[in-house]
Structure 1
Amino acid sequence: MADTPGDGPPRAALIAAVVLAVGAAVGFLVFAAVTQHQRGPAPVALSAVPAPRADGPECARLIGTLPEKVGDYRRAPLVEPAPAGAVAWQRDDGGEPLVLRCGVERPADFVVGAPLTVVDAVSWFRVQDPSDADRATWFAVDRPVYVALTLPRDSGPDAIQTVSTAVTATLPAQPADPGPAA
């Protein structure tokens, strides 16, 4: 059936309008995805924790060698005022970040006989916050400064392996100094 005057716009014009609308929507989604990827992760807000040696040369060396990517996490800017000696990585889709803090105090639970996990020649002590089962903090306890790495449950082994490599390269090993026996 042929289009007749008065039946609305011609069929070709309708098809062209739909194609243009769909193309514009797809173009907008592609543009949004590309610009989000270029902007990188959103800034991460970190609370201050006692870190008496965070401003020291050991932490400066370590932080200077940390990579931009850890697995599928990318280094994220920190919300100002950012704590000294801190670095965060976040996935592009958000979620819980990986957080490294250098120069922190010895963990209170680190005592003689506490279990350690060795990853790439670094001795790590794990602290699980009973109120937050989705994250654990690992402390490098055999270096001149304590390094804390807080990991979300689903972060995988890349983070602790990557950070262990950087710790080994920049901070000399020394005997772990646990507190008194529990």
Structure 2
Amino acid sequence: MADEHPRFPRPVLITALALSGLLALGVISLGLVSRFSEQRQQDAVEAVQQARRTGPLALPPIPSPGAEGPECAKLLAELPAELAVDDARVPRRELADPVPPGAVAWGDAEHDPITVRCGLPAPAELTPTSPLVQINGVQWLRITEAGNTSWLAVDRPVYVALTAPENSGSGPVQDLSDRLRALPAKPVFP
């Protein structure tokens, strides 16, 4: 009786098995390279975050015409050594030279920087129809952009901005509102 299943010639079978093995090795290698690449990317992101969270913080200069005036001097002297961020107290952070006038920052290895800038010009976003938020007796304009929220105090003799990551909670703006109440209130639109 003849064999119902034809046999493959031995060289064809060996070639098929070799190609299957090479294909499996290729898939495994691609997976390892992909995993290694993802780990390197994650390590690079963590290194950037650590650099942003430690050491002197470089702040770019921005126009701050009132930064060296008496109102900013009084406010900056009153700012706390620590800010409440969620359930943590975050310390002041050193600023890199050249330090912009009217600027301070807080942050540590676990928290992204929170900055305050005093003496800014009137923000372009402030219009008679801008939605303002009152926090502890201070009128704030909230601007969210690129994962950060800037709160601009608009009813004091100088404009003050607090910029924090979106997930920082309300503690920093409440702390700053308490300090800003020491400055006299003024109408938002004269």
- TM-score, structure 1 length as denominator? 0.70
1:75 paired with 2:75, answer no
**Partner AA of 1:81 in structure 2:** P
The one of 96, 100, 105 equivalent to 2:112 is 96
- TM-score, structure 2 length as denominator? 0.67
SS across alignment from 1:63: helix
Aligned to 1:166: 179
**Partner AA of 1:63 in structure 2:** L
Q: Distance in 1 between matches of 2:112 and 2:127?
A: 29
CA RMSD, Structure 1 to Structure 2 (Å): 1.5
SS across alignment from 2:167: coil
1:118 paired with 2:134, answer yes
Q: Distance in 2 between matches of 1:41 and 1:168?
A: 31
Contact 1:98–1:149 (Cα < 8 Å) also in 2: yes
Number of aligned positions between the proteins: 134
Gap runs ≥5 in structure 1: 1-39
Q: Distance in 1 between matches of 2:90 and 2:169?
A: 11
TM-aligned CA deviation for residue 113 of structure 1: 1.4
Q: Distance in 1 between matches of 2:73 and 2:143?
A: 24
4+ residue segments displaced more than 4 Å: none
Cα deviations across residues 87-127 of structure 1 (Å, max 9, x unaligned)?
Answer: 0000343x420000000011101001110000010000011
The one of 152, 156, 161 equivalent to 2:169 is 156
Larger Rg: 2
Percent of paired sites with the same residue: 43
Contact 1:41–1:77 (Cα < 8 Å) also in 2: no
